[in-house]
Amino acid sequence: MKRQSGFGLPEMLMVVVVIGILAALGAPAMQDFIANQRLKSTSSDLFTSILRARSEAIKRNKDVSISPSTNWNTGWSIPSPNAGEPALAIFVTRPSITVAGPAAGVTFTAAGRVKGDANPQFSLTASTGKASCIRIDLGGRPNVQPTSC
């Protein structure tokens, strides 16, 4: 009788144990990676929303604002400057991300400048403690910094 070659049960169990150990070691790093990617994505969404609100104000020659849903942690929207029209954009904040910004939102004039005399800023923080800050100058140009405000 010829003996068959292949893997036996002890070898297969050893492979499963090694894979389990490697997965257990990599899980915390993966959670940090996911939280940091959520922070980057939310920061990018907010940045592009600010740019879109500014460009819509210039294009429509009207004041356009970006305002929080109930608060910035739940999301934000760019309402249409024309009454009765649907919102230009609506965004939802990703889980485990905290967003803080001006309570009344930010309004851009027809010239693309920020309405008011203060520089608005948004603070974004991930559950891992990593933070990002978006500041808008009075000229209406946003700037992202990878640090807290």
Domain residues for the domain of 40 are 11-145
Q: Please give the tally of structural domains in the chain.
A: 1
Residue 141, domain CATH: 3.55.40.10
Residue 96 in any domain: the answer is yes
Q: What is the pTM of this model?
A: 0.81
Per-residue pLDDT tens digits for 43-97: 999 999 999 999 999 999 999 999 999 899 999 999 999 888 999 999 998 888 9
Given a contact cutoff of 8 angstroms between Cβ atoms, the answer to whether 123 and 99 are in contact is yes
Residue 55 in any domain: the answer is yes
Residues near 68 by beta carbon (within 8 Å), at least 6 away in sequence: 74, 75, 76, 101, 103, 105
Residue 117 in any domain: the answer is yes
Q: Among residues 43, 47, 45, 46, which one has the least CA distance to residue 35?
A: 43
Residue 124 in any domain: the answer is yes
Mean pLDDT of the chain: 90
pLDDT band at 145 (very low <50, low <70, confident <90, very high): very high
